[in-house]
Structures are given as C-alpha cells and as structure tokens.
Amino acid sequence: MGAYCYHSIMPALHVRNLDDALIAALKERARRNHRSLQGEVRSILETAAAGVRPTGKRTRRRLSLRTVSVGQASGFSRDVIYENDDR
C-alpha cells in the first residue's frame, strides 16, 4: 500500500523586489481586513484572477468633463434653447 500524504502540494508564488511602502500598505490592508499578509495577497490575487471588480468609493473612477471648442460661438440664447421647456 502506498503512503498517504495529508498535505496536498500547492503551487507557490514568490514575488521579488517589492517596495517597502507597498509591503507596508499590504500589511495595513490585511490588518483592516483581519487577515494575515499571505491571506490578503491571496484574496487580492483571487479577485483579480476572477475578473471581479472591487466595490467602494476608492475604486470608482472620477468622471472627467471637458469643454471642447468647435471654433464658432453659438448663435442661440438660453431663451431660444429652452423656449418650449418651461424652465
């Protein structure tokens, strides 16, 4: 009979040359989420691999509005534009 292994071998990922500030930010994020650093990094990678976008105020993109000049001044007044709109 063969030997039984109680621990399955999982692939590992080793990331080098991470900035100290990044490590500190990850540790803080892990602390806020009540996880170990390894658990936090695993959660981030699983979310990214699944294609799920995190929710929250910090992840929303800011709406950027721009005014574009078309080279001509408008010949319409506010009254003409909104004449049938009761504004």
- Tell me the per-residue pLDDT of 54-83, one tens digit each, with 9 for 90 and over: 665 555 566 676 666 666 666 667 676 677
Flag whether 84 is in a domain.
Answer: no
Share of the chain above pLDDT 70, in %: 53
Cβ-proximal residues to 54 (8 Å cutoff; 6+ apart), any chain: 47
Flag whether 26 is in a domain.
Answer: yes
Flag whether 5 is in a domain.
Answer: no
Identify the domain containing residue 18 by its residue range.
14-53
Flag whether 45 is in a domain.
Answer: yes
Whether 27 shows a pLDDT value over 60: the answer reads yes
Could you count the other beta carbons within 10 Å of the beta carbon of residue 29?
15
On average, the pLDDT of the chain sits at 77
Flag whether 35 is in a domain.
Answer: yes
